Structure 1
Amino acid sequence: MLRRLYDWVMGLAASRHAEKSLFAVSFAESSFFPVPPDVMLAPMCLAKPEKAWRYAFICTIASVLGGALGYAIGFFLQDFGMWMMAATGHAGGLAEFQCWYGKYGVWVILAKGLTPIPYKLVTIASGLAAFAFPMFIIASVITRGARFFLVAYIIKKFGPTLLPIVERRLALFAGLFIALIVIGLTASHFLGGSSGGACAV
């Protein structure tokens, strides 16, 4: 089923409603849809590199708005939010996110928004944990914008030669970014003399 959804999304990228479809997929992926918008963004940037930044902007705005919906689901519909997390194999996600939020706050959203981890889990868990909404939006704009503009840059700069490995490179850059965050968090943990158990995410 996931493969059929993937092929359907790829078909949307070539349609005359590509931009509207890109917005819809980016919005839905942040709260419930399983296919990331990158699979549309990459071929659209490849077909029209002069519009790469426009496409990345559409992805960013739609993803942040979709993230707000995911946050609202977690905040206002807690039972449904818990069910959605359990349905995706993250039944214990709320306790884990609350632990990480308590220790590292906004850095959790920044780190996870760049990685292949489904962003819908971050948005719903943020609402469940009642994370500060204005900070959630700011972090979402930064992290989702960085992800989508990076994809657009790679395609615009290198064209089809790097298209097959966009996701792999994205994961590499995200890994380096997270490594820097972990180093900073570890240093701050020891320098601040904080205590407490480790959080498993």
Structure 2
Amino acid sequence: MLQKAYTHLSSWSEKPYGEHILFWFALAESCVVPVPADPLLLALCTGAPQRSLRFALICGVGSVLGGLLGYAIGHYAFDTIGSAVVQFYDPELKTFSQVEGIYERWGFWGVLMAAVTPIPYKIFTLASGVFHFDFGQFVLASVIGRNARFLLVGGLMAYGGDRVQTWVQNSSERLLWVGLGVAVLGLVALKLL
């Protein structure tokens, strides 16, 4: 079942709407959606490896813009929208309140870590707005971290050639399970912060 889904997603790489879906999904993932954009990016890169860097950049731009939206939600609409998103991940808001300590101690590096690792980036985008984290540092950390993460995937697919593409196609079901595991680990890491 997962292999069929992955194959279907890969076919979107040749469709005009594939890039649009990737962009909007990456944007939503950075501020509200619990599923990371990486599996969709990987599927599109598998379907058209020659366009992998383009897909990675689209994903990065969407993700950074989603991060800016998350910052705005945290800053201007936390009580109405942001708190519902945070409570989905952290019902007691223990971890969310600890993010403020991360900002005080790590600042830019804390946001960069969240942008690159499986820790749910959306919690940091919302918290950045709530705790009035320096907007310039937030943007810089987001641009560097999110693009580094997605360009790594795109670069491997673009320059790894047929061997990487064949390996990804043969391992797609395992990769989807790993992606799910990474998402769960991100949630666990967030709880353990």
TM-score between both structures, scaled by the size of structure 2 = 0.77
In structure 2, the residue matched to 1:83 is 84
Distance in structure 2 (CA, Å) of the matches to 1:12 and 1:72: 31
In structure 2, the residue matched to 1:128 is 130
Distance in structure 1 (CA, Å) of the matches to 2:10 and 2:140: 28
Of 119-128 and 80-89, more deviation after overlay is shown by 80-89
Q: Could you tell me how far 1:11 is from its partner in structure 2?
A: 4.3
CA 1:43–1:127 in 2, change beyond 3 Å: closer, same or farther? same
CA 1:78–1:159 in 2, change beyond 3 Å: closer, same or farther? same
Q: Does 1:161 align with 2:167?
A: yes
- Number of aligned residue pairs: 168
Of 135-144 and 32-41, more deviation after overlay is shown by 32-41
Distance in structure 2 (CA, Å) of the matches to 1:64 and 1:10: 27
Q: Which gives a bigger RCO, structure 1 or 2 (Cα 8 Å, sep 6+)?
A: 2
Q: Could you tell me how far 1:87 is from its partner in structure 2?
A: 2.0
CA 1:153–1:11 in 2, change beyond 3 Å: closer, same or farther? same
CA deviation map 1:47-69 (0-9, x unaligned) = 21111111110001110001111
TM-score between both structures, scaled by the size of structure 1 = 0.74
In structure 1, the residue matched to 2:42 is 42
In structure 2, the residue matched to 1:191 is none
In structure 2, the residue matched to 1:179 is none
Q: Could you tell me how far 1:159 is from its partner in structure 2?
A: 2.1
Q: Could you tell me how far 1:166 is from its partner in structure 2?
A: 6.1
Kept in 1, the 8 Å contact 2:90–2:96? The answer is no
* One-letter code aligned to 1:72: A
In structure 2, the residue matched to 1:149 is 151
CA 1:154–1:130 in 2, change beyond 3 Å: closer, same or farther? same
Of 19-28 and 109-118, more deviation after overlay is shown by 109-118
SS at match of 1:14: helix
Distance in structure 2 (CA, Å) of the matches to 1:127 and 1:37: 22
Unaligned 5+ runs, structure 1: 173-199
SS at match of 2:150: helix
In structure 1, the residue matched to 2:11 is 14
Q: Could you tell me how far 1:76 is from its partner in structure 2?
A: 0.6
Distance in structure 2 (CA, Å) of the matches to 1:119 and 1:11: 27
Distance in structure 2 (CA, Å) of the matches to 1:132 and 1:68: 12
Q: Could you tell me how far 1:12 is from its partner in structure 2?
A: 5.1
Higher helix share: 2
Unaligned 5+ runs, structure 2: 183-191
Distance in structure 1 (CA, Å) of the matches to 2:105 and 2:133: 13
* One-letter code aligned to 2:157: I
RMSD: 2.7
In structure 1, the residue matched to 2:186 is none
Kept in 2, the 8 Å contact 1:151–1:166? The answer is no
* One-letter code aligned to 1:159: Q
Any residues of structure 2 matched to 1:57-136 within 5 Å, and which? Answer: 57-79=57-79, 80-89=81-90, 91-136=93-138
Of 139-148 and 33-42, more deviation after overlay is shown by 33-42
